[in-house]
Chain A
Amino acid sequence: MTDIKYESKGSLLRPFKALAFLGREPVTEPMGPRPASENYRGFHLNDWEKCIGCGTCKKICDNQAIRMVSIPDLPADPVKGIRAERPAMDYGRCCWCGLCVDLCPTGSLSLSREYVHTCTEEQISSYFILPDPKGMHGQGYEKGWAKTADADLIDLERQPMHQLAPDERTDSFAEVVDGFDPQSALLEASRCIQCGMCHDACPSNMDAPQYIRAIWSDDLEAAIEHIYDTNPLAHVCGRVCTHRCESACSIGIRGKPLSIRWLKRYAMDQVGHDRVRDIVSKRKAPLPDSGKIAIIGAGPAGLTAAYDLALQGFQVTIYEGLPQGGGMTRYGIPEYRLPYNRLDDDIDIITSLGVVIHYDTWVGRDISMTQLEQDNDAVIVANGLHLGRSTRIPGSDHAQVYSAIDLLRKITLGEHFDIPQRAVVIGGGNVAMDIARSLLRLQQRTHGRTDVTVTTLEARDQMMAAADEIEEAEEEGVVIINSRGPRQCTVDKEVLTGLETVHCISVFDAEGRFHPQYDEDDLTLYGADMVVEAIGQAPDNDFLGELLTERLEWVRGRLKIDEEGRTSEPWLWAAGDAVEGPDVIHAIAGGHRVANSIQQHLASLRKASA
């Protein structure tokens, strides 16, 4: 290209050169819409199969153009994190920035290559659409702007969690997981898209988005406030919760779900115990004495109910048979997962609200149910599942065959037993992992070497234990043998020699029902001087006494309760593992439920009498 000499501006005729264009083909495009580019940002498409109704698109929309519509026909499953909702777009607001697509956790939302929509005043409702895969006018335009790896704004990776190396942790009961440092906690918390699927999935409906947001805003005391709205066992849940929230987390669909549990733990660890106690104490309204409540069992359910009721001005007394509180979280969960001092902190907060706990007090032995009924306005049974189930295979009555629950309790209580040189554990759940890893630590400490084998009926992918538990157990040296059904505990001259197992072809039938099939020819013997059965737990309901047992209604061996947690006796409520099966967060939810029910019941009684 040349520069023009503007001193000589050229002939007046020069512009007429443009007349040469007269004969050329015009640049004019044919009438009608041209095909748009491959990543064009046109009208929305939404794959309803992929969409989970999380509403993240609604949150990122800077124009509030997206509204969630609940659609009754659609399947909804809070446990899996699926809502029967789909986004609807207001094209009177949309600016086609595509942030909704880039932030969609599932990748269901995209923009099509369709861009023409006109309507009259009467048809203006056509500006509000419920996108589906067919497009705005059902014309099946191709996808334009859709999710790509480089445009994805969802952080699919977790912040790494530092924990003790396997060889550092096997000789002691020191806590394995370090917990987040402030930086990684902030980063982890900031992955949250606040969809609230975790809230829906949590049995106790913990508002995780709120405390995660508080952590991310570096306002940890606000996080504590939010946590204590729904969970007084924050240290416990911050460490050993079965985190249904994480299974429902919508980031988990394409990536790793948020470490919600560790974030809770981080908030609790960072804010000192005294400060937490101050924060919680402010929640206690100066209420008049509302009544007297007795609770049997200082486990998660009992403690939660006590917390709720104490905040409402009730005089709460807990009767606990064991020397310390926490129930299964203390006597079932090893210290390396939940340090006792953290549990003590949680209990201290509850007792600081005025809750009295009588330890070493067995109801039925030291105080009768009749007494409790007489002295209190309401009684809550939260006795838990403290009896271990046995396979009852031949040889299982040998003295060296233990129940995992009993053994874990012995470890916590510091009771003596002979540490086996070689141990075999039957069971594939978290309790099996707990006892295996505890025995391994004791072996390392006593014998300087470890030999623990876990046999499970289930195949690896069916195992009930949490994936990280399995992984950590194996790191530490626990040998896990899958698909083995226990056949007998071999005893030679009164001495336990091992466990004979048979190959389990399949555990469940096609309909997912328990229907184990064995290959009787495939027998293997695992040598051991101790066999531990960790297959299940049962409640000990003898304390109720025969009379009360007869009066109460039962269902499938458990106390029958209604959805509020009431038993068939008007003064008696039940909660926790004993009625709902073993799970700490369910127990906490049950504690809230009965506390709430009791309050309402007593309030209506007072109203009636007044």
Chain B
Amino acid sequence: MRPENYKSVEHPPSHEYELNFGPNHPGIEGNYALKVKLEGDVVTEAKADGGYLHRGFEKLMETRLWMQNIALVPRICVPDPVPMEVVYSLGVEELGGLEVPARAQWLRVLHLELSRIAAHLFTFGGHAATTGMYSNMFWGVTDRDYVLDLFEQMSGGRVYHMYNVPGGVRRDLPDGFLARVSELLDYLERRLPQYDDLFFANAVFIDRARGTGTLTQEQALSWGVTGPNLRACGLSFDVRRDDPYLVYDQLEFDIPTETAGDALARTLVRRAELIQSIRILRQVIARLPGIDGPIRCPLPNPLAWNVPMGEAYPRVESSKGELCFYLVSTGGDRPHRVHVRGPSSMHAVQVLERLSIGTRIEDVAQTMFSLDACPPEVDR
């Protein structure tokens, strides 16, 4: 957005130029590019250029066994891999008619919400960096790392956990794990006011984020925006509540919304979601010890597992929005088709292209981070 005192000048034609914004650019999230046309420093045209992270996941998943795919799925979205694991597992469970034991469902919620916290902290860090606030980036990344420590104890891996498998989860929690989660939640609650001082309630940030990349409700609905980005436009929609999966219907949590629809509103929704995730996790910590039983339903031998013929369209709410897989089985040992519908497919491409127009070049990065676009999810 132009400052109020900005006066438009007639630029000579040389002021119109094209810029490859990315893939090698510090402001871009991941390995992704925008080809922008500029008039002075205002974007007049933007065209997303993806595919730098294309690995052909959908093709590869057709070549691998149902169980082998659990190693592949989390890698689709690097900063928030857990919803990928869960949505795939939910899909296979729907196809195979598998009953997930209660404990596994609660463990999945624990895992998912921790991942949401990690992803949001990471996004705060990234978003702060695009507005020049590197201290906050250091904080966000470090605090996320404490969540990764918990993931490591839980699943044996920091970033890619491969913890959820169709039918349940792979391991039960290590001893004393819930207490450590509780400690971390206490820590985060103490930490949030410090984040406020440095970032959320920072005049510089608020000034830069307010009015940047504004989405109206109609635009958001029509452009397929989901997740925190949709909620920042005042639309209270969350898959966890409106199309519930796992045990979210047994949990109490609010769906925070904002109305402005700009980068600031989106960031504030995420901040509020962090608090809701902490609230959910506190409930899980309270309930989980009382839920005994297996953590996985009996599974066939992974090498000889034919999933019954059918199709499934499982959905979850990832930290970025609506995440769906379309799974088709022909009754074979591998999927016939897996279509990954990541929220960033919308946010990082058509929405970003549209929102960039009219913003200044330095705000393009901020717009992208405020949309929490995840390029590997677009490229697959």
Q: Do chains A and B touch in the complex (CB under 8 A)?
A: yes
Q: Does A33 contact B (CB under 8 A)?
A: no
Chain B positions 264 through 308: 1 when the CB is less than 8 Å from some CB of chain A, otherwise 0: 100010001001000000000000000000111011111111100
Q: Does A192 contact B (CB under 8 A)?
A: yes
Q: Please state if A39 and B156 are interface contacts (CB–CB under 8 Å).
A: yes
Q: Please state if B301 and A193 are interface contacts (CB–CB under 8 Å).
A: yes
With contacts A150-B295, A155-B298 taken as known, whether A102 is within 8 angstroms of B170 at the C-beta atoms is: yes
Q: Nearest B residue to A41 by beta-carbon distance?
A: B156
Q: How far does the Cβ of B6 sit from chain A's closest Cβ, in whole Å?
A: 21
Q: Does A481 contact B (CB under 8 A)?
A: no
Q: How far does the Cβ of B262 sit from chain A's closest Cβ, in whole Å?
A: 11
Q: Does B24 contact A (CB under 8 A)?
A: no
Residues of B within 8 A of A193 (CB): 301, 303-304
Q: How far does the Cβ of B206 sit from chain A's closest Cβ, in whole Å?
A: 4
User: Would you list which residues of chain A between 92 and 116 have a CB under 8 Å from chain B?
Assistant: 95-99, 102-103, 111
Q: How far does the Cβ of A138 sit from chain B's closest Cβ, in whole Å?
A: 22
Q: Nearest A residue to B162 by beta-carbon distance?
A: A97
Q: How far does the Cβ of B64 sit from chain A's closest Cβ, in whole Å?
A: 5
Residues of B within 8 A of A148 (CB): 171
Q: Please state if B302 and A41 are interface contacts (CB–CB under 8 Å).
A: no
Q: Please state if B272 and A3 are interface contacts (CB–CB under 8 Å).
A: yes
Q: Please state if A18 and B162 are interface contacts (CB–CB under 8 Å).
A: no
Q: Please state if A111 and B301 are interface contacts (CB–CB under 8 Å).
A: no
Main secondary structure of the interface of B (DSSP, over half): helix
Chain B interface size, as a band, is: 35 or more
Binds A, one of B40-48, B49-57, B194-202, B311-319: B194-202
Distance between Cα atoms of A8 and B171 in the complex (Å) = 48
Contact of B203 among A9, A36, A103 (CB under 8 A): A9
Q: Please state if A144 and B156 are interface contacts (CB–CB under 8 Å).
A: yes
Residues of A within 8 A of B303 (CB): 56, 59-60, 103, 192-194
Distance between Cα atoms of A383 and B82 in the complex (Å) = 67
With contacts A11-B203, A18-B194 taken as known, whether A60 is within 8 angstroms of B302 at the C-beta atoms is: yes
Task: Report how many residues on chain A are interfacial, defined by Cβ distance under 8 Å.
Answer: 51
Q: Does B26 contact A (CB under 8 A)?
A: no
Q: Please state if B300 and A10 are interface contacts (CB–CB under 8 Å).
A: no
Q: Please state if B156 and A95 are interface contacts (CB–CB under 8 Å).
A: no
Q: Please state if B156 and A15 are interface contacts (CB–CB under 8 Å).
A: no
Q: Please state if B194 and A99 are interface contacts (CB–CB under 8 Å).
A: no
Q: Does B88 contact A (CB under 8 A)?
A: no
Chain A positions 1 through 35: 1 when the CB is less than 8 Å from some CB of chain B, otherwise 0: 11110100111101101100000000100000000
Q: Does B33 contact A (CB under 8 A)?
A: no
Residues of B within 8 A of A14 (CB): 197, 201-203
Distance between Cα atoms of A153 and B206 in the complex (Å) = 52
With contacts A14-B203, A97-B71, A103-B303 taken as known, whether A37 is within 8 angstroms of B142 at the C-beta atoms is: no
Contact of B197 among A17, A40, A56 (CB under 8 A): A17
Residues of A within 8 A of B193 (CB): 1-2
Q: How far does the Cβ of B221 sit from chain A's closest Cβ, in whole Å?
A: 24
Q: Please state if B171 and A150 are interface contacts (CB–CB under 8 Å).
A: yes
Binds B, one of A76-84, A183-191, A420-428, A546-554: A183-191
With contacts A9-B206, A216-B306 taken as known, whether A15 is within 8 angstroms of B198 at the C-beta atoms is: yes
What are 10 pairs between A and B in contact, CB < 8 Å? A6-B268, A9-B206, A10-B201, A36-B152, A40-B157, A95-B160, A97-B70, A97-B71, A103-B301, A213-B304
